[in-house]
Amino acid sequence: MQKVVFQDLGLISYKDAWEYQAEKLKELVDRKLSNRKLAPGHQEEQIHYLLFCEHPPVYTLGKSGSMSHLLLDEEGLAREGFEFFKINRGGDITYHGPGQIVGYPIFDLDCFFTDVHKYVRFLEEAVILTIAEYGLQGKREKGYTGVWLEGNSQQPKRKICAIGVHLSRWVTMHGFAFNINTQLSHFDNIIPCGIDDKDKDVTSLARELGREVSINEVKGKLRQHFAGLFDFEFTG
């Protein structure tokens, strides 16, 4: 069974978290390349990481995204107190901020399965299983990543978790942003994930339940669903 180190980084700047992810990714890639030169039985055990954190308000634009989906200019970003980064994950633009669980799995998929589609589905499933514990039925929306709640005549389909990943030599970085007690008005400054459909919106666990939710409680449930889906055990 694979071993995963869990680290809750708390409130951390996006830049610092990005650099830390890159450091851990390099650690896993270097270990993998070193092991390839060693005979079986002499190889070092691969150690993976699952990082949770929150960020001060920041917008990030994936490599396939469009700058036109950011609705603030530099002055507007500075005035409102937002940072902005162009990054190397897939996907378009999204928002990170307090009250959100941002998850960064640094996994060597050679130790699990080499299937990016399956990996993203597992990220979605961990969130779907977590919100089910709060009585919400998460779903996947055809043509999009992330976790959604079904719409009806009173409200549109709502995205509660965005996903964007990057892989290097089958080692993952970036991950998901799960809205718990997130200030949803901050999404008004972007076209979230580049989706401008009138029948789609963003939401949070707090909005759906009509109350503030313990973010630490959600983290605990989410951790266990990750371990169950990927069949690993936490260490360290």
Phi-psi region of 144 (alpha: psi -120 to 50; beta: other; left: phi over 0): beta
Sheet arrangement for strand 58-61: 83-86, 58-61, 93-96
φ, ψ for residue 218, nearest 5 deg:
-65, -40
| CA terminus-to-terminus distance, the chain | 15
Q: Find the catalytic residue in 53, 111, 161, 193.
A: 193
d(C-alpha 184, C-alpha 171), whole Å: 32
| Distance, C-alpha 64 to centroid of its chain | 17
193 is catalytic: yes
CA distances from 166 to 26, 46, 128 (A): 13, 19, 22
The residue among 45, 48, 61 whose CA lies nearest residue 21 is 48
Integer angstrom CA distances of residue 231 from 54, 110, 113: 26, 14, 11
Give the count of beta carbons closer than 10 Å to the beta carbon of residue 142: 5
Q: Which residues are catalytic?
A: 193
